[in-house]
Amino acid sequence: MTERSVSFTLNGEQREAKVDPRTHLGDFLRHSLGLTGTHLGCEHGVCGACTVIVDGAPVRSCLMLAVQIEGSVVETVEGLGNPDSLSTLQQAFVTNHGLQCGFCTPGMLMTLEAYLRSTPMPTERDVRIAISGNICRCTGYEGIVQAALDVAATRADRT
C-alpha cells in the first residue's frame, strides 16, 4: 500500500510523518512514533484505554485512522507531564490511588483532561458519566472519580 504523508501538531510540536492508510492512530502513535503511553485495550472502541485528544475532543485512537489527523492538533499522555513534574490531574491520581496496573490510566487521563477543560465544576455523577466509556478493572473507579473532583475543586479555588 502507498504510504501517505500527514502533518499535524503532536503535544505542541509540529510533526510530519509517512503512514500506511490502513494504520489506525493508536498503532501509529505507538509503533511509528514510539509514543507507547497510549495503550490499546480492546481495539474495537469500547474500553477507552487508547483515548487521546484530537482538536480538543477525546477520541478513541483505535477507531481513527492515522491519515485522518492531517492538520489536527493531537495530544497524548506524554504531553501532560513528566514523571518528575506531573500535571495537577496526574498528581491527583497519585494522591487518590486512581491507578493500580496503570494500563487504562492514559485513556482515563486524556478523557478527563478534555472533560475538565470544558466542564470546570462537575458533580460526582457528571464525572462518572464522563468516564463511562473507559473501563478500569483494577480500581473500582472511586480514586479516579475523586481525582477529577479534586482537580475541579482546586481549579475553582484559583478562579
Partner 1 sequence: MSARYFGAAVTRLEDARLLAGKGQYVDDIELPGMLHAAFVRASFAHGRIRSIDTSDALAMPGVAAIYTMADFEDIAHGPMPPMAPHPLLKTPITYHPLANTEVRHVGEAIAIVLADSRAKAEDAAAAVVLDIEYLPAVSDATLACDANSPRAHSQHTSNIAATMKAGFGDTAAVFAKADHVLTEHFDIHRGGCHSMECRGVVAHIDLLTGALTISTSSQSPYMVRRHLAGYLKRDENDIRVMTPDVGGGFGPKANVYAEEFAVALAVIKCRRPVKWIEDRQEHFVATTQQRGQTWTLDVAFDNDGRMHAIRGRCIHDNGAYAPYGLILPATALASFPGPYALEALDLSLDVVLTNLVPTSPVRGACRPNVAFLLERLADRIARHLGIDRQEVRRRSFVRADQMPYSTGMKARDGSPISYDSGDYVGALNLVLDEIDAANFPARRNEAKQRGKLRGLGIASCVEDTGLGPFEGASVRVTPAGKVVIASGASSQGQGHRTAFAQIAADVLGVELEDVTIETADTAKFPLGISTIASRIAVTAGSSVQLAAHKVRAKAIAFASHQLEVDEHDLELAGGAVHVKGIPDMKIKLSEIARTLSGNTGMPMPGDMEPDLAATAYFNSNALTFAYGANACEVEVDPDTGDIRVVRYVVVHDCGRMINPMIVDGQIRGGVVHGIGNALFERMIHDEEGQPLTTTYGDYLLPMASEMPRIEIHHMETPSPRNPIGVKGAGEGGTIPAAACVISAVEDALGPNGPFIALHPISPQQVVTWLDRN
Give the binding site for partner 1 (CB under 8 A): 22-23, 30-31, 34-44, 46-47, 49, 76-78, 80-84, 86, 90, 93-95, 97, 99-106, 109, 127-129, 131-132, 134-145
Q: How far apart are the C-alpha atoms of 34 and 143, rounded to whole Å? A: 29
Q: Rounded to the nearest whole angstrom, what is the least distance from the CB of residue 41 to partner 1 in the complex?
A: 5
Measure the CA–CA gap between 39 and 61, rounded to whole angstroms: 9
Q: How far is the CB of 25 from partner 1 (least distance, A)?
A: 14
Q: Which three cell numbers stand for residue 49?
A: 484505554
- Of 52 and 71, the one with the shorter C-beta distance to partner 1 is 52
The least distance separating partner 1 from the CB of residue 5, rounded to whole angstroms, comes to: 19
The nearer residue to partner 1, 6 or 99, going by C-beta atoms, is 99
Residue number, 21 or 71, with CB nearest to partner 1: 21
Q: Which is nearer to partner 1, 100 or 119 (CB)?
A: 100
Place of cell 494500563: 103
Could you give the strand order of the β-sheet that contains 51-54, starting from the edge strand earlier in sequence? 13-19, 4-10, 73-75, 51-54, 57-60
Q: What is the DSSP string of 26-82?
A: HHIIIIIS--TTS--S-SSSSS-TTEEEETTEEEETTSSBGGGGTT-EEE-GGGT-B
We find the least distance from the C-beta atom of residue 7 to partner 1, in angstroms, to be 23
